Amino acid sequence: MYQKTTLDNGVRIVTEEIPYVNSVSIGVWVVLGSRDEKRNENGISHFIEHMLFKGTKKRTAMQIAKEIDSVGGILNACTSKEYTSFYAKVLTKDLPLAIDLLSDILLNSTFNPKEIDKEKQVILQEICMVEDTPEEHIQELFNRVFFREHPLGYPVLGEPETVGTIDRAKIIEFFKEYYTSNRIIISVCGNLKHDEVVRKIEDDFGSLPKEDGYAAKDLPNPISQVLIREKELEQTHVCLGSKGPSQTHPLRYASYILNAVLGGGMSSRLFQEIREKRGLVYSVYSYMSAYFDTGLFTIYAGTDGDTLKKVIELVIKELRRLKINALKKGQLQMAKEQLKGNLILACENIDNRMGRLAKSEIYFGKFITVDEIIDGIEKVAKEEVIQLAEEIFNKDYLSLAVLGHVKEKNFTKGLLEV
């Protein structure tokens, strides 16, 4: 059962009671990510995420780690483009401890200068790790080339030159500006009682001062662009994509179908045509990144430098086919069954359900039930998928990023015509 309570200071609490499990998953979600950063402070949201585990007024970093380990629990965090999440999973009896730990790190962190200097080196190594992982690095490069100077194109981790300038004063200033009650959503899922959870959370988070709503975000203005980054690698990696639907777009369910058909599984067109039929890749897939007011539809493939142009031509060919004749007989219903199955299986995991609760509140301001999503999927018509394909696969937005060895330097000329 879903319930929602908003504290007097604006902190939102959303819960889902699942009485047959023995655990609880809880997340404190802050509507703040790399999109909210200025260019010269890129990476500070992620930096703060790290620092909140480095000691509070009453706990050292080691004490935080020991307390969660002592009950067999999990405590972690992640930063994205539009939100930051701090989450824990514990047995039901240990939920008060999880709430206490999460409230302590969010409300009482000290931001010790020595820990900041040490963590800066950790994050710089994390950035190096991404750059040494071509499949991740090319997707980051593609985001940059597609969104250009807009903050959605900034890497979540930041860049070495911006991370290097972050100090305690900048962290405290940013933290005070953005870690406010109106941006905080606390999502709890599992064996719980809503009223008991609210009372405990109010004891810890109720002292936060009330803040008004936050400013509207600037819209990106993407145009078709190409980036080729030469690097000595065994494979050449490519991302190709275009403007996609936002989180609340009227055709968002049609976009799920489109993605499933094009590159969302082993039976998808890209997988079957480029890997199974021709053997040109090991990995090829598509995915969507949906934000408050825009989105990004991306296709990834890793291939040999000699076959790069052929792989891109085959991707473009599949995009044209989708715009012209969209779906083969039975493909629409198969995609619907795939999406419904994926959704229901994901709901077997209470961590996933906790995340769904939070994201529904972030983007819709209410809980979107599984039944509503299934109904939305079922109602998608073939014509809507065609309409969306025509909107997304537009030469004015279609962009390309390549990382690795490129034999033919001018191979992209006229290639992105769809």
E strand spans, 67-116:
74-79, 84-91
Which tokens belong to 183? 């941006």
- Amino acid of residue 374: I
Helix then strand count (H, E) for the chain reads 15, 11
In angstroms, what CA-CA distances link 111 with 58, 206, 298? Answer: 13, 22, 37
**DSSP character for 271?**
I
- Rounded to an integer, what distance in angstroms lies between the CA atom of residue 243 and that of residue 241? 7
Task: Report residue 185: phi and psi, to 5°.
Answer: -125, 130
Catalytically active residues, by annotation: 49
- Rounded to an integer, what distance in angstroms lies between the CA atom of residue 284 and that of residue 212? 44
Residue (of 257, 280, 235, 221) closest to 338 by Cα position: 257
Q: What is the DSSP string of 264-314?
A: SSTTSHHIIIIIIIT---S-EEEEEEE-SS-EEEEEEEEE-GGGHHHHHHH
**Residue by residue, what is the 3-state secondary structure of 355-380?**
HHHHHHHHHHCCCCCHHHHHHHHHCC
Strand partners, 109: 56
Strand partners, 184: 30
Cβ proximity of 151 and 35 under 8 Å: yes
**Residue 292: other Cβ atoms inside 10 A:** 17
- Rounded to an integer, what distance in angstroms lies between the CA atom of residue 164 and that of residue 41? 10
